[in-house]
Chains A and B, each alone.
Chain A
Amino acid sequence: MDPPDPKQRFAEMYLAHYADVLAYIRRRTDSPHDAADAVAETFTIAWRRLADIPDGPRTRLWLLGVARRVLANGRRAETRRSELVERLGTELAVWQARSPDPAEAADRAEVRAAFRRLRPGDREVLALASWEGLSHDEIAVVLGCSHATVRIRLHRARKRLAKELRAAGLDVSRYGARAVALSEGTT
């Protein structure tokens, strides 16, 4: 059987995973233009390394791993932003301006501040679990470590966030209930 046409394979992968890759990057960048750059960079790498991309559920994890490294490296000097990527950045900026972010609501400021005080590694493992909804095994693939390491890192990160919340005068159990009530009050 002939191998699938590279463009077709890339298109299938791109259409299936673009929203997830954008969400991953958007949630970790402040600037919409940086986010557009990182999305373009991630998929450009994917196109160049199409033969390396695993099939099945691992495709998305592979892409998230690449996106993670792209963000960690920052924007590469030699990557010239194309006009289309400029426009994509503007589109993201317009979207951001039109849609007030629920996570920016004032009542969550304390939790956000406590989260930001965590080390980047703690933030990432918590975010992969709660924002991307990944299992321990999937986080292990994205981070390139073992299942056991993920379990330990998550446990420690949760403990440190709970400690930060307590230090800020928040009782996790009570705050959880209050946060739920407040989020429902927005209907």
Chain B
Amino acid sequence: MPRSDRIDRLVGEIAPDPGPGLTPLARRLMDEITATPVAVTAPPRPRRRRRWVAVPVAAGLTAAALAIGWLVPAIPGLGPDPAAAALDIRRDGDHYVITVRDLHAAPQVYERELRARGIDITLKVLPTSRTKAGSVYVIQDLDRLMAEGRVPAEGRITVDGPPVGEEASPGGPVSPLAPPGSCTAPGECPLGVRIPVDLAERAQITIGREARPGESYAIRPDAGAAGEPLHCVPYVNRTVAEVTRAARQRGVEPAFAHAGTVQAADQVPGDWHVHEGVMSGEKSALFLIGPEPDPSPRPDPAAGCPGS
């Protein structure tokens, strides 16, 4: 990261609270201000300083982008930026387009900036693999689920990972700005989400960002998913010994989970069977195991691979 970016991030991290935004009292202030009449005949507009004429040629693209922004302010990237340190929130018709500018801000910072705009969602940005960066997960109706004490299950191994909800698809009401796989330059694509303005229930939205070197994944992709190091390596119902060998050949250190505990490869029986697996870091995987093969296994992600 260039030094200027590090400095800007440090300054961004000490941004004081932006306040509560547009409250009912603030709306009343508007009525109070406009209760004072002003001259209806407007004074002649002062001569506009055409400052941009003096902008060097190199800034021409920026100037052009600004000019377009005047005409179509709803297009992301061209409209007005918000006064926010961590999020860029714009309205595009009946959706908000929320771009995460600071991927490492504390969740409270996101929440404040969302609340200041009257958007009642919880937003988290969690580390995941490069191929899952940009993915968006949604838990709808969070208040009801929490009140009922129900934690939505992902239906997959979460072991000690937080449940993040259902993955949002590009065509859905809540959709990722840069869905996984759409971005050819990792780390340079906008991470964010489009949400309907009238999203009725309070939702928890989680966006995946690429993990830093050595950082554990909080959003764990299938071990055999495309783009992951164990893609096309069969592991469902293979033995612990076989999977350990295959994983290590690809530079991945496996750990194994059974009955709620996670253990290293040399601490579990080598003849037990792997039922499912997820990547828990760039070079680590976590497999769910049992003494017997899984009688109704999920399809092995390696099934469609060459040689399978």
Contact = CB atoms under 8 A, between A and B. Distances in A.
Interface of A: 3, 6-7, 10-11, 14-15, 18-24, 26-27, 35, 39-40, 43-44, 47-48, 50-52, 54-57, 59-60, 64, 82, 84-85, 87-88, 91-92, 95-96, 99, 101-103, 108, 111-112, 115, 126-127, 129-135, 137-138, 140-141, 146-148, 155, 158, 161-162, 165, 172-173, 175-176, 179-180, 183-184, 186-187
B118 to A, nearest CB: 8
Nearest to A127: B11
Interface in B97-145: 101, 104-109, 112, 116-117, 124
Given A27-B18, A111-B11, 16 more contacts: A10-B30, A15-B22, A15-B30, A20-B83, A22-B18, A23-B19, A23-B84, A84-B28, A101-B17, A115-B11, A126-B11, A129-B8, A134-B81, A161-B7, A176-B1, A187-B106
A23 B18 contact: yes
B45 A52 contact: yes
B14 interface: yes
26 contacts: A6-B40, A10-B33, A15-B22, A15-B27, A19-B21, A20-B83, A22-B19, A26-B16, A40-B29, A43-B30, A47-B33, A52-B43, A84-B28, A99-B112, A103-B14, A111-B13, A111-B14, A132-B81, A132-B83, A133-B88, A147-B55, A158-B4, A161-B10, A183-B106, A186-B106, A186-B108
B49 to A, nearest CB: 9
B82 interface: yes
Interface string B1-45: 101101111111111111111110111111011101010101101
Contacts of B1: 176
Chain B interface residue bracket vs A: 35 or more
Contacts of B13: 103, 108, 111, 179, 183
Interface stretch (B65-73, B254-262, B271-279): B65-73
A15 B82 CA distance: 13
Contacts of B109: 102
B234 interface: no
Contacts of B12: 130-131
B119 to A, nearest CB: 11
Contacts of B43: 51-52
Nearest to A134: B81
B168 interface: no
A19 B20 CA distance: 8
Given A18-B21, A23-B116, A161-B7, A133 B42 contact: no
A135 B66 CA distance: 11
B50 interface: no
A137 B26 contact: no
Given A108-B13, A132-B83, A187 B107 contact: yes
B306 interface: no
Nearest to B89: A19
Give me the 8 closest cross-chain CB pairs, A-B, nearest first: A51-B42, A23-B18, A20-B83, A130-B11, A56-B70, A26-B19, A57-B80, A176-B6
B150 interface: no
Interface string B285-297: 0000000000000
A72 to B, nearest CB: 18
Contact of B106 (A102, A111, A129, A155): A102
A176 B83 CA distance: 23
Contact of A99 (B17, B22, B33): B17
Nearest to A30: B16
Contacts of B14: 103, 108, 111-112, 115
A103 B15 contact: yes
B16 A101 contact: yes
B51 interface: yes
Contacts of A146: 51, 54
B59 A57 contact: no
A15 B34 CA distance: 13
A27 B16 CA distance: 5
